[in-house]
Amino acid sequence: MTNKLEGKVAVVTGGGGGIGRGISLLAAKEGAKVVVADVGKRPDGTKAADSVVQEIVRAGGSAVASYGDVTTMAGGASIIKAAIDNWGRVDILVCCAGTSERTSIFDVTEEQFDRTIAVHIKGHFTVAKAAVPHMAKQRFGRIITVTSRGAFTSIRPAYGTAKAGVMGFTFALANELEPYGITVNSLSPSAVTPQFTTALDKRSGNDGMPRLGLSGDPEY
């Protein structure tokens, strides 16, 4: 590793599993102190965030867990507070918390739709709202949102709408925060995770483009 994040503090929502776990581990390997934020649990009942924190600490890194719910303002604030309380700053925010609601318009319920919007769109807003004042004071910050090609291709209204909303949120923040030394960019990843069982294959076709397949680990 290059230790390119040495001295930085990173917050990763949804950091207890899948792509979020991969990001948390990589940030720690690159020298960042990491807040692993996740409300989920492992099949054995242990907290997902705790498991990733333990992995980081065993490897010689620094990390703490947060169990704040990104769908509430208090939860989002508590996640950022974990970074400030432990290390006095927040430099990087990766919003990876999400759901995989893929019910069709014929069957999706109001509760399912609202929950998907809350986790994806409001879940970006709550932590960004809490982190931005600290980043602006530092005149430095990196915010990374997580969207999906499903914003354009999904046939499931809740998920597709939520991911398209994340893109709009990203553009708005990027335009507003640039004068404060804060950049805002978005990832559109693909990986095999407990939520998504297919992803872009590591192998390419004759045209060099990745193919939809059954491989693609989060670390990749």
Q: What angle do CA 23, 68, 149 make, to 5 degrees?
A: 45
Q: What is the SS3 assignment for the chain?
A: CCCCCCCCEEEEECCCCHHHHHHHHHHHHCCCEEEEECCCECCCCCEHHHHHHHHHHHCCCEEEEECCCCCCHHHHHHHHHHHHHHHCCCCEEEECCCCCCCCCCCCCCHHHHHHHHHHHHHHHHHHHHHHHHHHHHHCCEEEEEECCCHHHHCCCHHHHHHHHHHHHHHHHHHHHHHHHCEEEEEECCCCCCCCCCCEEEEEECCCCCEEEECCCCCCC
Distance from C-alpha of 182 to C-alpha of 161, rounded to nearest angstrom? 26
Tell me if residue 159 is catalytic.
Answer: yes
Distance from C-alpha of 67 to C-alpha of 47, rounded to nearest angstrom? 9
Question: Six-digit token pair at 109?
Answer: 């319920």
Which active-site residues does the annotation give?
Answer: 159
